[in-house]
A and B are shown apart, each in its own frame.
Chain A
Amino acid sequence: MRDSEKQPETKNPLESRRNFLRGSAAMATMFVAPGVMLYRTSIAKSDDAGADGSVRWGMLIDTNELTEADVDACVSACQREHGWRDTGHPETDAQWIRKVKLRDRESGHQKFLPMMCQHCENPPCVDVCPTGASFKRADGIVLVNKHTCIGCRYCMMACPYKARSFIHENLHDQLPVAPRGKGTVESCTLCVHRIDRDGISAVPACAEAVNSASRKPILFGDLNNPKSDISKRLAELGGMKLRADLGLNPGIRYQGL
């Protein structure tokens, strides 16, 4: 009791100042640190950091491996992933990916392949877009900015692959990963939401639908990285670019054509 009474009197003034400083520092850390953390997080998740310029995403589609059912599975998977669907108006319905049947004029041989935005290195849709709504990300993915597309459809005129759709009708039940808007143009995004979420391990929905442990008819990966599976297979077996004569260097390549 006596000790406790005496304690305040005997307390070193230097020590109390030290305690005060220590307390202030703890308080400051407590309040500032989360702010710093949030700031760092916000930088990490900013749009600019989303696309890595050292990467070029691409896809290699082996048409010899793909059956008609496989291509149908690709289309269905894309519909489920992005929420577009057949409304019974084929002329005006959006089709981000479609099944193309090819018949050799001489031999009559038939094959099926999935056809979508080819994510060109030099995309004509980006060149012609008056507002810059059509754009190419640093990682090679060609997208439409739904906020600045004015719905002029000039990109659809310019695309050599017929890859884009104009939204002709009111939309219902949109999915959060694929915002869409009547009166604007849209196309395959290469499942950009998966890439931004999963990074190097991402697989687009169409590839996921047909690939398995035993077979991979659709390879997805970084064309810039010579060690990636897609680059290795391209180096070994080659791949064809559709309308290569146009010099657009698409990111989607085909085998077996």
Chain B
Amino acid sequence: MAFPTRYSKLNVNSPQYWLMLGLLAILIFTGLAASHHMEVEGHHVTGMTNQIVWGLPHVFAIFLIVAASGALNIASISSVFGKSDYKPLARLSAILSIALLIGGLAILLLDLGRPDRLIIAMTTFNFKSIFAWNIILYSGFVLIVAAYLWLMIERRMHAYSRSAGTVALTWRLILTTGTGSIFGFLIARESYDSALLAPMFIVMSFSFGLAVFILILITSFKLDDRVLDDSHLQRLRKLLGIFILSVFYFVVLFHLTRLYGSQYHDIEYFFLVDGGIYTTLFWLVQIGIGTLVPLFLVYHPAFNASRLSLALACCLVIIGAFAQLYVIIIGGQAYPLNIFPGFEASSSFFDGVVGEYSPSIWEIILGLGGFSVSVLITFLAIRVLPIIPEILPAKPDSETES
């Protein structure tokens, strides 16, 4: 016998809930204040320079934008690929993806040298620029997923939700291709300049987005003590394992390709052996803490049944994701441009020197503010919209979706 899933608004009025929202609001406010300070004083108050032109705000922003695309996975799996097991989680998946994208875009916007010129960015397009395309892709994503969410919530419109899901899936694959191509299209920098970055960003989105999704899922069910059976988490655990392995595969492939040709030996030596903070972040945080430990937590039988181990694995994946993006974005700029092959170059503009960067407090606050925007939108949305299933019990094997 099958029961249709019933959704309801989060019924929570605990001091903890409001305290959490209050904290998020404070973080958002301080993020805005940090951005205002950067605009008034100029970017010299940040750690960013003419050598490292994109810094920690971009790491935060790109994490959120990439995760936004991946967070939609659960909805896509249920609507497009017809896996009914995931259907009860599809609404949360959609709202989370919108929230993450808005948080990421807020950071990108507030870090601009001239955020007051948003209207120019929204109306004057150079269509040869992947950045201009991304402005359209990001705005379109929010609209499409919002429509998709509405079709899922509105009972009379359920029939159309599959088509909308297909559009959303296609759109977000293009979107993440666009995000990866921001770097992949930079032919001048040896550290980027690879078509592999686009598919790698797509796989990264699967992993980062799912890690955030699982944490939000566990938290939101816990907030008003809803029943979330372990079987649902087990399914997500397996999926997370596959995604972590997929990212690992792409990272290995990316570096092996470069190690093969001697023209990239110097830059590979920098990242893998002698790059200081970037080498440490790569091996210790991205590969160790962000890949191997979560894989162990996901696949070792001793932790299989533990919800805590899954949550921990998700946290580690997110930490590893930040390390990975830090190495790609900031490490990629720190490695000096090779303008004069065969010569040692030096100048007052730091030619031939590894760029130095230490993030300022303003950038950290701005990044956390954007992150808080995403979390706040999610926790407000599930309180005012019927997003979360009232109960997610264990499902008998014979049962089929209504």
Contacts and interface: CB of A to CB of B under 8 A. Distances in A.
Interface residues of A, number: 54
Contacts of A158: 186, 188
A130 B54 CA distance: 16
A130 B125 contact: yes
Interface stretch (A45-53, A93-101, A202-210, A227-235): A93-101
Contacts of B182: 154
B119 to A, nearest CB: 10
A207 to B, nearest CB: 20
B394 interface: no
A152 B131 contact: yes
Given A92-B44, A167-B113, A131 B51 contact: no
B43 A132 contact: no
A156 B50 contact: yes
A98 B117 contact: no
A105 B343 contact: yes
A94 B50 contact: yes
B132 interface: yes
Contact of B337 (A128, A152, A162): A162
Contacts of A127: 128-129
B345 A130 contact: no
Contact of B187 (A124, A129, A150, A169): A124
A256 to B, nearest CB: 12
Taking residues whose C-beta sits less than 8 angstroms from the other chain, chain B's interface range is: 35 or more
A165 B48 CA distance: 12
Given A102-B340, A103-B344, A162-B339, A132 B126 contact: yes
Given A150-B114, A183-B112, A130 B131 contact: yes
Given A151-B114, A158-B188, A184-B114, A129 B344 contact: no
Interface in A123-157: 124, 126-132, 148-154, 156-157
Contact of A160 (B42, B128, B188): B188
B129 A129 contact: yes
Contacts of A154: 129, 131, 182
B135 interface: yes
A115 B347 CA distance: 10
Given A130-B132, A150-B113, A153-B113, A92 B49 contact: yes
B347 A149 contact: no
A132 B124 contact: yes
A148 B117 CA distance: 8
Interface string B312-356: 000000000000000000000100010110111111111100001
Interface string B70-112: 0000000000000000000000000000000000000000001
B129 A89 contact: no
Interface in A146-200: 148-154, 156-162, 164-170, 181-185
20 contacts: A90-B350, A92-B49, A100-B340, A115-B347, A130-B129, A130-B132, A131-B124, A150-B117, A151-B112, A156-B50, A157-B54, A165-B50, A166-B43, A166-B113, A168-B43, A183-B39, A184-B114, A185-B113, A243-B188, A243-B339
